[in-house]
Structure 1
Amino acid sequence: MSGAGVWWQQLGLVMAGGALGAGLRFLVGDAMLRQFGAGFPWGTLTVNLVGAFVAGYVMIWLQSRGGAALYWRAFLIVGIVGGLTTFSSMMLESLLFVRADRGAMVPVYLGISLAGGMLLVWAGARVAEAWR
């Protein structure tokens, strides 16, 4: 298949995965809001941490997929995980903390997001390596 054909296939997979990821983000955010209320952005934190683990896991899983890895990466990492996780929402929620005179929550939220995300992307890769 030509390079352009592969590119279009990847684009279609990214778009389909992105729609699924965005839908999952909405469902998780809604469930967390109903469960815990609006005092802290639990939904965004959850999808970012879960997405970090999944990205680490899938990165290792793809190493044994040969030529198909190109398509799986487009669908799973760029599409689903990209649609699920949400850096821009995390930044907006940090600004909203500041504007609501809750600026002390910003380093807590960003610290948990960044440290937890780094730990979970590492953990996902380790689990995938152990299961290979």
Structure 2
Amino acid sequence: MIQNLIYVALGGAVGASGRYLVGLGALRLMGPGFPFGTMAVNVIGSFAMGVLVVVLGHLSANRFAPLLMTGLLGGFTTFSAFSLDAVTLWERGATGQAVTYVALSVALSLAALVAGLLIARAMT
């Protein structure tokens, strides 16, 4: 139990740091106004989750799930930030951007997860 908690904490620290860097990079590349960084980490994290589900299962390595899935990807993906970004756009009156952001984030994240599953299954 305590070992898994340590794994989750370590993975979370790395994941949150990665999320911060992606957000910073997206802000510098794309500028403010649309939450590209949050959308990117959610799509990337969904893809990685799809890959990890298959790879860890194939390798009988589910013992790494607390570190990689709960910790790393839990710290990296940002559903609460996604929700805040969507509501902020809505409250600013950017209704079209809010709807586009929600639709793209959900659709691309689901597609990325399926792509991760399919690619990892094809490789194993």
TM-score past 0.5 threshold: yes
Structure 1-normalised TM-score? 0.91
CA distance in 2 between partners of 1:119 and 1:99 (Å): 28
Paired residue for 1:98?
Answer: 90
Paired residue for 1:111?
Answer: 103
CA distance in 2 between partners of 1:108 and 1:40 (Å): 10
Among residues 48, 51, 55, which one is paired with 2:42 in the alignment? 48
Q: Deviations over 1:50-92 (max 9, x none)?
A: 00000000000011232x422x111111011110000010110
Q: Deviations over 1:68-127 (max 9, x none)?
A: 422x11111101111000001011011111221112211110110111111110000111
CA distance in 1 between partners of 2:121 and 2:100 (Å): 31
Bigger radius of gyration among the two: 1
* Structure 1 runs (4+) greater than 4 angstroms displaced: none
CA distance in 1 between partners of 2:48 and 2:89 (Å): 28
CA distance in 1 between partners of 2:3 and 2:59 (Å): 17
CA distance in 2 between partners of 1:99 and 1:126 (Å): 38
Residue type at the aligned position of 2:95 = G
Paired residue for 1:16?
Answer: 10
Residue type at the aligned position of 2:97 = M
Paired residue for 2:62?
Answer: 69
Q: In the alignment, does 2:53 pair up with 1:59?
A: yes
Q: CA RMSD in A?
A: 0.9
Structure 1's unaligned 5+ residue stretches are: 1-6
CA distance in 1 between partners of 2:119 and 2:3 (Å): 30
**Percent of paired sites with the same residue:** 35
Structure 2-normalised TM-score? 0.96
> Shift of the alpha carbon at 1:39?
1.5
Structure 2's unaligned 5+ residue stretches are: none
CA distance in 2 between partners of 1:119 and 1:95 (Å): 23
